[in-house]
Amino acid sequence: MKQIVALIGLGIAMPLWSFGQQSPTISGTIRSARLEPLPGISIKVKHTGKGAITNGSGQYTLAATPQDTLLISGIGYQLLQVPVNGRTKIAIQLEEDATALGEVVVVGYGTQKKSDLTGSVTSISAEQFRKTPSVSLDNGLRGRAAGVQVTAASNQPGGVSTIRIRGNNSVNTGSEPLYVIDGFPVYNDNSGAGASAGPKLNALSLINPNDIVSIEVLKDASAAAIYGARGANGVVLVTTKKGETGATKIEFNTYYGTQEAAKKLPLLNATEFAQLVNDANGTTVFTPQQIAAFGKGTDWQHEVLRKAPLQNYQLAASGGDARTKYAVSLNYYNQQGIIINSDFSRYSTRFNFERQATTRLSFGSNLTIARTNANQALSATGGGEGTIGVIGSALAFSPILPVYKADGTYVLENDRGIPMGNPVATAKELTNNSVNNRVLGNIYASYKILAGLEFRTSIGADILSTKEKYYAPRTTLRGYSLQGIGSASSANATSLLNENTLTYKKQIAKHSLTALAGFTVQQYQRDIVTSSASGFVNDLLGADNLGSGAIVNTPVTNVNTWSLASFIGRINYAWNNKYLLTLTARADGSSKFGANNKYGYFPSGSVAWKLSEEEFIKDLNVFHELKLRGSYGKTGNQEINSYQSLAGLSNMSYIIGDNVVKGYAPGNIPNKDLKWETTSQSDIGLDASFFRGRLTVTADAYYKKTTDMLLWVNVPWSTGFTSALQNIGSVENKGLELAVSALITDRKLRWNTTFNISANRNKVLSLGPIEQILTGEINGYLKISDPIVIRPGQPLNAFYGYVSDGIFQLKDDIAGSAQPTAKPGDRRYKDVLADGKLDAKDRQYIGNAQPKFFGGMTHDFAWNNFDLSASFNWVYGNTILNSTRAELDLPTGQKNSSARVKDRWTPTNPSNSIPRASLNRSFLFSDAQLEDGSYFRLGNLSLGYNLPRKWLQAAHLERLRVYVAAQNLFTITHYTGYDPETNQSGQDNILRGIDSDAYPSAKTYMVGINLGL
Q: How do residues 801-839 score in pLDDT, each as one tens digit?
A: 999 999 999 999 998 899 999 999 999 999 999 999 999
Contact 372, 345 (CB under 8 A): yes
Predicted pLDDT at 68: 52
Predicted pLDDT at 50: 53
* Distance, CA of 116 to CA of 610 (rounded, Å): 9
Candidates 388, 322, 398; CA nearest to 24 is: 322
Predicted pLDDT at 383: 42
Predicted pLDDT at 858: 95
Predicted pLDDT at 491: 93
CA dihedral sign, ordered 10, 15, 16, 22: negative
Contact 863, 888 (CB under 8 A): no
Cα-to-chain-centroid distance, residue 362: 35
Contact 741, 756 (CB under 8 A): no
Contact 872, 972 (CB under 8 A): no
- List alpha helices for 698-805, DSSP H: none
Say if strands 77-83 and 994-995 run parallel, antiparallel, or are unpaired: unpaired
What kind of fold does domain 104-240 have according to CATH? Ferric Hydroxamate Uptake Protein; Chain A, domain 1 (2.170.130)
Residues 6+ apart with CB under 8 A from 265: 301, 395, 884, 888, 898, 976, 977, 978
Residue 1004 CB-density burial (10 A; 0-12 exposed, 13-18 middle, 19+ buried)? buried
* Distance, CA of 574 to CA of 607 (rounded, Å): 10
For residue 551, the tally of other CB atoms under 10 A from its CB is 12
* Distance, CA of 89 to CA of 26 (rounded, Å): 9
Amino acid at position 755, single letter:
F
Contact 961, 1010 (CB under 8 A): yes
Contact 1, 13 (CB under 8 A): no
Predicted pLDDT at 443: 97
* Distance, CA of 894 to CA of 729 (rounded, Å): 45
* Distance, CA of 947 to CA of 954 (rounded, Å): 11
Predicted pLDDT at 816: 86
Each residue of 865-898: b (16+ CB within 10 Å) or e?
eebebbbbbbbbebbbbbbbbbbbbbbbbbbbbb
* Distance, CA of 826 to CA of 819 (rounded, Å): 10
Beta-bridge partner residues of 366: 352, 442
Each residue of 742-778: b (16+ CB within 10 Å) or e?
bbeebeeebbbebbbbbbbebbbeebeebeebebeeb
**Residues 439, 445, 446, 449, Cα dihedral to 10°:** -150
Candidates 385, 380, 317, 375; CA nearest to 350 is: 317
* Distance, CA of 36 to CA of 430 (rounded, Å): 68
User: Domain segments of the chain: what residues?
Assistant: 3-83, 104-240
Predicted pLDDT at 98: 36
Contact 106, 226 (CB under 8 A): no
* Distance, CA of 525 to CA of 561 (rounded, Å): 4
Contact 460, 183 (CB under 8 A): yes
Candidates 759, 737, 857; CA nearest to 120 is: 737
Contact 904, 273 (CB under 8 A): no
Taking only the tens place, the pLDDT of each residue in 378-401 is 876 544 444 478 999 999 999 999
Residues 6+ apart with CB under 8 A from 531: 487, 488, 489, 546, 552, 553, 555, 556
Residues 6+ apart with CB under 8 A from 619: none
SS3 313: strand
In the chain, which stretches have pLDDT less than 50?
1-45, 47, 53, 55-62, 64, 70, 72-82, 84, 87-102, 382-387
Predicted pLDDT at 191: 63
